[in-house]
Amino acid sequence: MERSASGRQPDRAGDPVGKIQRTLRECLEPRLSDGQRLCVGLSGGRDSVVLLHALAALRSSGLALTLSAVHVHHGLSPHADDWARFCTVVGERCSIPLEVVRVRVPAVSREGPEAAARRERYVVFADRQADWLVLAHQRDDQAETILFRLLRGAGVGGAAGMPVERPLGEGPRLLRPLLGIPRATIAAYAEACSLVWIDDESNTDGRHRRNHLRHEVLPRIQQMFPGAARALVRAGEHFCEAAVLLDELARADRASVAGPDGRIEVSRFNDLSPPRARNLLRFELVSAGLRPPETRWLREAMRQLGTAGADAEICVATSEGEIHVYRRALHVVTHRQAVPVAPVCWHGEAELPWGGGRLIFRQTTGAGIDRSLLDQAAVHLAVRCGGERLQPSAKRPTRYLRKLLQEAAIPPWERARLPLLWCGGRLVWVPGIGVDAAFACPPAAAGLLPLWEDEQPASAGSARRRCA
């Protein structure tokens, strides 16, 4: 008779160990290639301990994967140090390397300590050197999430609940393989395997609305409607399907209103029906990595876009970014790392960091900046102050940089981020504009060609902008 790695029958009713290991295998095998790296988010609670234990057992039974774990130390509880030590011991017992990462959660935040801690936690997750970041959310968590979001007036996407799989920026993909497993099965697994875990006292704090739902509201609903958690999850699946259809509609609408450069043309956007226009605008924001907008913000953005004149420049801000209208097209701009305020000296480095991007200096012959001229005075980078002048061509007069940037169609919000290269008191080079004629490299002479790789405002799927 086939048995699991623990010696129990894997697929029989009443066998939580076999059920969870079978669920994990069915989730992982279609997604994993040999040797892929899985990093488990280990809080030390029962669910994450069971997940780590079950994955370790699958690895021992022959599933080809590399396992690690990460514990995020928020410092919010007086027991946080004890939890970190406990997770270290759990990792050692499972022969899985674990990293404890400390984060600083703002003491005062508009979003509240729970949301701030979650944001910091996911920053850590996205930074893992792994192919998959695996979390232990289960079916009851999903039901609570769906009900909580519905009570807050979520749209179709929010009511879909937590996805089984999604990207984490440029880092690993997030995976929740236990979303179909009820909490009772996980508890039975922990008991069957004699596991120990920690209980976060905040999970029973009735002041948190999510806890009130878990301990007061949902149990009462379950009494009146047996199987309510399963029904909520099923409803979430229907919402998820509807959200997929809305995204497909948004992509089709986007293709119909985008100009040759791929940007949404505001005049054509305004020809869409209001529901489709709102759906497309929401899609643009989420595609850019921003959270779905609140209804009142979406209404205000639609009002401004609907009344925009032919040459209007509009900015509607969110907590994470802005929507701009520039040259009759829509731009979604995320908040990015600030550029240096003080000048940054250059001493011949091959590259310098600048506002989340980098400035690369390439050695050339007969192109770019005359290298010998840069040796005659101190060289530094600085942002615009106003009044700068440049002569990109010896055949044309020196002109104000403001005019050159406008003609080059560099948006206003990008101009303030440009790293301007100076030699002594002379402006030498501007990204997207070029080299001042007085510093142009003669043929066959040693030259230097700067290249700026900037963080691209997340819009239309771009990642970085390279600018010589």
Q: Give the pLDDT confidence of 393-417 residue by residue, as tens digits.
A: 998 999 999 999 999 988 888 898 8
Beta strands in 190-302 (DSSP E): 264-265
SS3 content of the chain, % helix, strand, coil (to 5): 40, 20, 40
Residue 358 in 3-state DSSP? strand
Confidence of residue 3 (pLDDT cuts 50, 70, 90): very low
> Is the pTM higher than 0.75?
no
User: Among positive and negative, which fits the CA dihedral 21, 22, 24, 28?
Assistant: positive
* 110 compared with 54, residue with greater pLDDT: 54
Which pLDDT score, from 0 to 100, does residue 8 have? 39
- Contact between 396 and 406 under an 8 Å Cβ cutoff? The reply is no
Residue 222 scores a pLDDT above 70 = yes
The domains of the chain, with CATH numbers, are: 16-231 (3.40.50.620), 258-334 (no CATH), 344-467 (no CATH)
Query: How many CB atoms are located within 10 Å of the residue 396 CB?
Result: 9
DSSP 285-304: HHHTTPPPPPHHHHHHHHHH
Query: For a pLDDT cut of 70, what percent of the chain falls above it?
Result: 92
Residue 150 scores a pLDDT above 80 = yes
Which pLDDT score, from 0 to 100, does residue 109 have? 64
Which pLDDT score, from 0 to 100, does residue 341 have? 84
- The pLDDT of 111-119, averaged and rounded, is 80
Which pLDDT score, from 0 to 100, does residue 460 have? 39
Nearest to 54 by CA among 215, 173, 162, 192: 192
DSSP 40-66: EE--SSHHHHHHHHHHHHHHHTT--EE
Query: For a pLDDT cut of 90, what percent of the chain falls above it?
Result: 63
Residue 183 scores a pLDDT above 80 = yes
How far is residue 76 from each of residues 72, 104, 164, measured CA to CA in Å? 11, 9, 28
Which pLDDT score, from 0 to 100, does residue 105 have? 84
Query: How many CB atoms are located within 10 Å of the residue 29 CB?
Result: 11
Residue 343 scores a pLDDT above 50 = yes
What are 352's strand-pairing partners? Answer: 359
Q: Give the pLDDT confidence of 457-466 residue by residue, as tens digits.
A: 444 334 445 6
